[in-house]
Amino acid sequence: MQRRFSAWLGILLSGCLLVGLHSRAADTPKGKWESLFNGKDLSGWVPVHDVTFAVKDGNLQLVKGMGWLRTGKQYSDFILECEWRALVDKYDSGIFIRAGLDGQPWPDHGWQVNLRYDALGGLVHGSNPVVPAETPKMPVNQWVKFRIEVRGKSIAVSVNGEETWTYDKLDTDRGYIGIEAENFAFDFRNLRILELPPAAPTTAK
């Protein structure tokens, strides 16, 4: 009797495990992650205006300047992951998404996830805060992980694995990903992107 019960319990647990794995697989977007930084040089990146970026100890380092570093190609819907750490106090930078080339030193009307010490993780449109920051200032030299998911008109941001906010009124559908330079030193690493299929259009009822 005990053997039958043990066998039945094993089958039940195996079934639950398979269901759980299937559920997780269904929640994971299909596609292939692409590394945006090879740890050796700035291949795939283009400096815009007066900026200095370099590779140091395997990290992409923002050294100085007023401008930005952009990807060589444009993206529409995607999940972007990266880790960053500020190297100086009262730091300021940002991650541009769907940015255009017009404007100096930064894109006009560009969307940016803020890396400013006192507005960390907030959403900025041009120079105007749109979504207030919900993340406290992070210490200098401490690595922080950002995950930015962009689909259609929506953007969602997670910091160190915790969801912070979502916003659904993006007004651009394609553009460059970039790192803003405001004369504050930063390190970046583990930059990768997963391109997503276009979001389904909303059908009016």
Q: Tell me, rounded to whole angstroms, the distance of Cα 83 from its chain centroid.
A: 9
- The Cα-based distances of 67 to 111, 125, 134 in angstroms read 15, 16, 26
Positions of the chain with pLDDT lower than 50, given as ranges: 1-28, 204-205
What is residue 26's predicted lDDT score, i.e. its pLDDT? 39
Is 91 within 8 Å of 188 (Cβ atoms)? no
Is 92 within 8 Å of 79 (Cβ atoms)? no
What is residue 31's predicted lDDT score, i.e. its pLDDT? 74
Q: What is the pTM of this model?
A: 0.82
With H, G, I as helix, E, B as strand and everything else as coil, classify residue 99. Answer: strand
Q: What is the DSSP-derived secondary structure letter of residue 75?
A: B
What is residue 30's predicted lDDT score, i.e. its pLDDT? 64
- Measured distance between the N- and C-terminal CA atoms of the chain, rounded to whole angstroms: 59
Exposure on the CB side of residue 118, measured as CA atoms within 13 A: 2
pLDDT one-digit tens code per residue, 44-74: 999 999 999 999 999 999 999 999 999 999 9
What is residue 16's predicted lDDT score, i.e. its pLDDT? 41
